[in-house]
Amino acid sequence: MSLAVPVQILVALVAATFCFAIGGINPATIVGRRRGIEVSSVGSGNPGATNLGRVIGRKWGIAVGLLDVLKGFLPTFVVLRTLGTWVALLGGVACVLGHIYSPYLGGRGGKGVATSFGAILAVAPWVALVAVVVFAVALPFVKRLGDASVLATGFLLVAGVVLTVRATTDIDRGTGVWLVVMALLVLARHRRNIAIWAGRLTG
């Protein structure tokens, strides 16, 4: 017997809150403070893996990046397996929002690339893996992690639109819309990169 609608809504909200709380944990800040560095006050000021890697070394940046992926993947995967796809989609968005607007950092946070990748890996692994390929191919040409991330996220946006248009089931359509939302969240955090590109193209 399925749960009554009010109970389903309550369960979904609890799951989303759990995912938001996990997503809000900021490994870059934790590692930086253990090394005597306030990552939000150095480099670009972004409390994320890329900035931390520039400040204290690439290996730390990679380690923190992997932790950011895990905090998107694990909560979303657990929710997917226990409560189903629809709640997992909500949980994935909550993870990314937690990372971007961390409640532990006064509403500040990172750009959401790794965490969104982790959540997408849990729900749509092939889409996530193709995005990695796009990122890896783009990086040698654009040279900057942020720019390669924008291109990979652009692929996610296109993939989401295509899936939404071509979907034959409600879940596939919902997943397509979800990919679009996830991509827009990340692209919004890369406004500066996009503005620079736009300036180069129009200049």
Last residue of a domain, one of 119, 151, 167: 119
Domain assignment of residue 157, given as a range = 124-203
Residue 165: what residue type?
V
Last residue of a domain, one of 89, 104, 119: 119
Q: Judge if 45 and 128 occupy the same domain.
A: no
Confidence of residue 202 (pLDDT cuts 50, 70, 90): low
Which spans in the chain are helix H? 5-23, 27-34, 49-56, 58-83, 85-100, 113-123, 125-142, 145-166, 170-189, 191-202
Q: Judge if 111 and 55 occupy the same domain.
A: yes
Q: What is the DSSP string of 9-62?
A: HHHHHHHHHHHHHHHT--HHHHHHHHTT--GGGSTT---SHHHHHHHH-HHHHH
Q: Judge if 104 and 134 occupy the same domain.
A: no
Percent of the chain whose predicted confidence (pLDDT) is above 70: 94
Q: Judge if 142 and 56 occupy the same domain.
A: no
Q: Judge if 73 and 87 occupy the same domain.
A: yes
Q: Judge if 152 and 178 occupy the same domain.
A: yes
Give CA–CA dist 39/42, Å, rounded.
5
Least confident residue range of 3-17, 18-32, 67-81: 3-17
Q: Judge if 158 and 141 occupy the same domain.
A: yes
Q: What is the pLDDT of residues 62-90, one digit of tens each?
A: 999 999 999 999 999 999 999 999 999 99
Q: What is the pTM of this model?
A: 0.91
